[in-house]
Amino acid sequence: QLRYGIRNGLCMDDPTEACAAPAPTPAPTPPDWCALLEESDDDLYALGLAKEIGTYCHIQESHGGTTCNYYVKGRPSAAGGNGLPLTTDGRGTGCVDEDGGSCFFYSSAYPLTQAERDSMCTVSHVANAAAQLRYGIRNGYCMDDPTEACNVPAEEEGSGQWYVDWTLNSGTCVKDCIGSAPCRERLKQNHEPGYANEGICCSTIDWQPSASCHL
């Protein structure tokens, strides 16, 4: 009762001296996870370095003394692993492949789609790290509440056009959708020209053999 009086100005001559309870701090607005998936590789990579992808997802630099120069990290799993992507037993270092050589994400230890494996094993460490971050966003490893994840239905997004992915074999035509081949791990960016079919797309990279110019 005394606290009621103090809070409501009933204990002093000047009621404006009352101790009003501070207004509750509004809960932070969660990021638009689906919008993050559409960021370019470069922009998503920069957000990862700045630790601006939810509570957990970020890129850790480790130059010298370790196997990898870059690691992608997310929310720790029940098994204690926090590298992205996770292995079937909930572990993983998150090491970013830098040259597309013997990429360990092709191992059966990682429950990934073929498109996910390909996207994490290009010749660009920026593209690979971005693909690992997208894995975290889609699977709920960047936020406290995993239900906030952006679950994009496989092969149901995008324009359906074809475009050139320059991170694959110095130029490979892929379809603008997310999922297994011929789709990729990301959608076509606005600055990337789109083509009605793989034949037209392949004509723009005519140095590639016709049998391998597209996924």
What separation in angstroms does the CA of 78 have from each of 89, 143, 144, 178? 9, 15, 13, 28
What is the C-alpha separation between 138 and 161, in angstroms, rounded?
A: 23
Contact 139, 73 (CB under 8 A): no
Q: Beta strand pairing status for 58-61 and 172-175?
A: unpaired
pLDDT of 208: 92
pTM attached to this predicted model: 0.61
Contact 127, 167 (CB under 8 A): yes
What is the C-alpha separation between 211 and 172, in angstroms, rounded?
A: 11
What is the C-alpha separation between 80 and 214, in angstroms, rounded?
A: 39
Q: Of 178, 214, 208, 210, whose CA–CA distance to 195 is shortest?
A: 214
What is the C-alpha separation between 91 and 103, in angstroms, rounded?
A: 17
> Would you state the torsion angle of the CA atoms of residues 129, 133, 135, 138, taken in this order, to the nearest 10 degrees?
-160
What is the C-alpha separation between 153 and 144, in angstroms, rounded?
A: 22
Per DSSP, the three-state class of 100 is: coil
Per DSSP, the three-state class of 84 is: coil
Long-range contacts of 87-92 (CB under 8 A, 24+ apart): 87/111
- Length of the chain in terms of residues written: 215
Strand partners, 163: 174
pLDDT in tens, the chain (215 residues): 888 877 777 787 776 776 665 666 655 555 677 788 878 889 999 999 999 998 899 999 986 666 789 999 999 988 888 999 999 888 889 999 987 667 889 898 998 877 788 889 888 899 899 999 999 988 889 988 877 777 655 445 677 789 999 888 889 999 888 777 788 877 888 888 999 888 999 999 999 998 889 98
